[in-house]
Structure formats: structure tokens, C-alpha cells
Amino acid sequence: MRLTKIALAAGLALATALPLLHQAAAADYKDEYKISTVVPAPFPWGIAADKWAELVGQRTNGRIKMKVYPGSQLVSGDQTKEFTAMRRGIIDMAVGSTINWSPQVKELNLFSLPFLMPDYKAIDALTHGPVGDKLFQILRDKGVVPLAWGENGFREVSNSRHPIRKPADLEGLKMRVVGSPLFNDTFTALGANPTQMSWADAKPALTTGAVDGQENPVSVFTIAKIYAVGQTNLTLWHYVADPLIFAVNKEVFESFTPEDQKIVREAAVEAGALCVELARKGLTDGDTSAIEEVRKLGVDVVELTPAEHQAFVDATRGVYKDWTQKIGPDLVKMAEDSIAKR
């Protein structure tokens, strides 16, 4: 009986202490944790970031308050500085593009190797296999804690001049590309004139005709109304994909209790799965409703034949080989093997 009373007392003490421990931990937490993204809702990317913040707030009973700052506003609109800012603790968290982080993490250029991934199963084979594990370890070594994968989608090419069915159709076109040298090399190999600019500058440049075309996922093309600024020709070529990463500054993550770390991680995984689902909606499993929606907007949508697609693969093979050496031949081989086994 005495032992039972002692056990009950100990249990009550523990039950009383746990909320106090949470309160003490919460007292050390910031009033707000800033999440950086490039685009807001209703883009899948922005919706997923909002969902992450919402789930964490609910499951921590408000101990961790996260707020999304879209438009790369935490890095003055330059999305390529996002990773460095998070690593240094200037921003707390991000749902970031592998493309935008690739200038600081060369291995993330893997996803931008031209025509590496032929389909969505190939993306999944990389992000949810040994390649994804390897990349997450590289990020951890750089002072950032990666938690989950999301997706912005395959990037398709559009322009205001004419349909693109062969590499020669890109000859001389002024193309807006993201701030990665690999994109410059790819479009140069195809005969285009690539111009690097941030997303904030892209749409005005398309509006004025400063550039002829751009490349982005279908969801971005429709939600951002890129078709309304003269981009009436869209070619589905799946030349690169843009996985997203949910991540937290290392010191911030380690400041959370183990229980809260688990909540933040699991919420990121759930939000990431939602992001992938939304990014692929109307584009997979025989559902082409997203493409039909684009056609209804008056856009000429080109779907390449296998032979036409191969011509683009051949034209960019030199870029693929050069960048394999820069990214790391072993990692590229691991990726190729994972895709072959998908």
C-alpha cells in the first residue's frame, strides 16, 4: 500500500511537472518564427507553408508560433540568398526550392540536370530514396535541419513568339531563367539567350517584352496568370523538376523540446505531402484537367512526341555531362540507378 501511494504521488508530481516544463521551454521560445517562401497561397507551395504553420500552432497549443513571409521578403526579394540567411539564423525556417538553394549547395543542382527525371515516379525515387537521404545529410552538415520534401513540379517552357517543338525553335529567344548557372548553360546550349532574374522581376519583364519566354510548373503558369502577359505557347517537356524542402535553422530546431521537435517534423511531412498532391493535381494518373484548363485560356499547348523529346535530350547532353562533374559523379550515378529501379 505504501509503495502504491509513493507511485501515485510520483505520478502526480510528474503530471504536474510536465506542463511546468513546457511553460519553461515556451518561455525561452521566440514570440514568432519566420518562414520564408517565394510564393504565397493559392500556389501549392504557399498553401503547404501555411499548413505547416497551422499544424504546429495547433499541436503545440501555441507554444510555437510560425508565420509565413512570401515573396522572399526576408531576403529582400532575392530567393537565392534564402539558404544562407537560414543557415546564419537571419530567418528561422523556410519552405525552399532546391533550385534557389543550389548556388550554396551544389549537390541540389542534381534536380536541374536537363532531362534526368522522365516522370513523377522518378522524382519520388530520388526524394524518398538514398539520394534524398544523402542530400538531407549534406544540408544537416551545413547547419540546416531538413524535415520533409514538398514539390513545385516539372518546369515547362512558354513563350510569346511561336510553338516550341524542336531545339531550333528556341534559337534567339530571350528567356527568363532562375539564378542558377546550370539554367544559363542549358538554355545557351539550346540556342536561346537566357536572362537570370528573380521571380519578382519576371512577370514585369514578360509584360513589357523584355524577355520572350520563361519556364515554370503548370500550376505557376495558371495561378500567376502568365498566359495573360503574352505567353500563349506552352510546351510540356519535363526538362527539370523542382522539389521543395521544409527546413529549420539548426540552433532554432535544437532550442525546441524533443516533443516539439517531433511535432514540427511530423507537421512538415504532412504539409509536404499536401504540397505534392496539389502540385500534381490534374497532371497525373490519367487526369489531364490542368492541361485542359490551360488550353481553355487560349494557350497553344504542345505535347512532344518521343522523337521530339529526344532531340532536346541530345541537344543538352553536353551540359548534363559537364554538370555531372560539378555536382558529383557518384551522386548522379546514385540518382540514375534509383530512377532505373523505380
Beta pairing class for 33-36 and 144-159: unpaired
pLDDT at res. 179 = 80
Mean pLDDT by 10 residues, the chain (342 residues): 49 50 67 97 98 98 98 93 96 97 97 98 98 98 97 98 98 94 97 92 94 97 96 98 98 98 98 98 95 98 98 98 98 98 95
DSSP 3-state assignment of 215?
strand
pLDDT digits (tens, 9 = 90+) for 9-29: 445 544 555 555 555 556 689
Give the CB-side neighbour count of residue 115, counting CA atoms within 13 A. Answer: 19
Give the integer Cα–Cα distance in Å for 163 and 117: 23
316: exposed, middle or buried (C-beta count within 10 Å: 0-12, 13-18, 19+)? buried
Domain limits, the chain: 30-340
Q: Kindly report the number of other CB atoms within 10 A of residue 314's CB atom.
A: 11
Angle at 98 between CA 97 and CA 104, to 5 degrees: 110
pLDDT at res. 200 = 84
328: exposed, middle or buried (C-beta count within 10 Å: 0-12, 13-18, 19+)? middle
Give the integer Cα–Cα distance in Å for 151 and 272: 8
E-only strand ranges, the chain: 33-36, 66-69, 93-97, 144-159, 174-177, 193-196, 213-216, 233-249, 300-303
Give the integer Cα–Cα distance in Å for 233 and 130: 37
pLDDT at res. 199 = 84
Rg of the chain on CA atoms, in Å: 22
Backbone φ/ψ region at 77: left (φ over 0), alpha (ψ -120 to 50), beta = left
Q: What is the DSSP string of 107-131?
A: GGGGGGSTT---SHHHHHHHHTSHH
pLDDT digits (tens, 9 = 90+) for 245-280: 999 999 999 999 999 999 999 999 999 999 999 999
pLDDT at res. 198 = 86
pLDDT at res. 6 = 47
CATH number for 30-340 (one of 3.40.190.170, 1.10.287.180, 3.30.2090.10, 3.20.20.70): it is: 3.40.190.170
- What is the maximal distance between C-alpha atoms in the chain? 89
Q: Kindly report the number of other CB atoms within 10 A of residue 342's CB atom.
A: 15
Hey, what's the cell of 238? 519535363
> Quick one: which of 253, 312, 267 has its CA closest to 87?
253
pLDDT digits (tens, 9 = 90+) for 152-174: 999 999 999 999 999 999 999 99
Between the CA of residue 37 and those of 73, 78, 84, 240, 258, what are the distances in Å? 8, 11, 14, 20, 26
> Quick one: which of 33, 27, 319, 42 has its CA closest to 183?
319
